[in-house]
Amino acid sequence: MKAIKYLFLFLLVSSCGTVVNYDYEKSTDFSKYKTYDYFSDMQTGLSQLDTKRIMRSIDTKLATMGLTRSDNPDFYIDIQSQDIMNRNNSAVGVGAGGGGGGGFGGVSVGIPLGGNQNTREIVIDFVDKKQNEKLFWQAVSESNYRENASPEKREAYFDALVEKIFSKYPPRK
């Protein structure tokens, strides 16, 4: 039953509402990166518990990809996030018009649908500190995020989000 909940949440995050954009340095040899760590002074913009959740999710995913967390890493990871308020401009318009007797007239009413919606943007940077802190890979995700969700739902959210973010790492050239 628990697996079904995670699967449902994964499908929800991956199918609707989550957008991930990637960028990378074309000259990078991704095969040379085997170990990583996080910047010690990272300001994620998330709560301490959510920071731990996303880091656990990243650690698990990178381990399945053959990468190891190390005290002397090949690269560092930086995580940043912020809330973004999206304005919903969807509306239903109703109009009426007439034109008889040589005159024209009209009435129009716009009814807004929904309201403003908060989303969370999460940026994950891979930085090679040995090469003067050279950024070589970046993922920027934007998705719906409920801060009042249960810890289990938050963990499932981060697991699904990290799965989607790292689906394109390393990039296919």
How far apart (Å, rounded) are the C-alpha atoms in residues 72 and 133? 15
Lowest mean pLDDT segment, chosen from 38-42, 50-54, 74-78, 144-148: 144-148
Q: Is residue 82 part of a domain?
A: yes
SS3 166: helix
Q: Is residue 22 part of a domain?
A: yes
Q: Is residue 93 part of a domain?
A: no
Q: Is residue 119 part of a domain?
A: yes
Token code pair at residue 37:
């760590």
Share of the chain above pLDDT 90, in %: 60
Lowest mean pLDDT segment, chosen from 36-40, 66-70, 107-111: 107-111
Count up the domains in the chain and report the number. Answer: 1
pLDDT at 15: 43
Q: Is residue 98 part of a domain?
A: no
Q: Is residue 173 part of a domain?
A: no
Q: Is residue 24 part of a domain?
A: yes
Q: Which residues constitute the domain of residue 141?
A: 2-87+104-168
Question: Once rounded to an integer, what is the mean pLDDT over residues 41-69?
Answer: 96
pLDDT tens digit string along 98-152?
555 555 555 555 555 555 567 899 999 999 988 889 999 999 999 987 878 999 9
pLDDT at 106: 58
Share of the chain above pLDDT 70, in %: 71
Token code pair at residue 43:
């300001």
CB burial string 88-108: b at 16+ within 10 A, e below: eeeeeeeeeeeeeeeeeeeee
C-alpha of 63 from chain center: 20
CATH number at residue 55: 3.30.160.670
Q: Is residue 92 part of a domain?
A: no
pLDDT at 118: 73
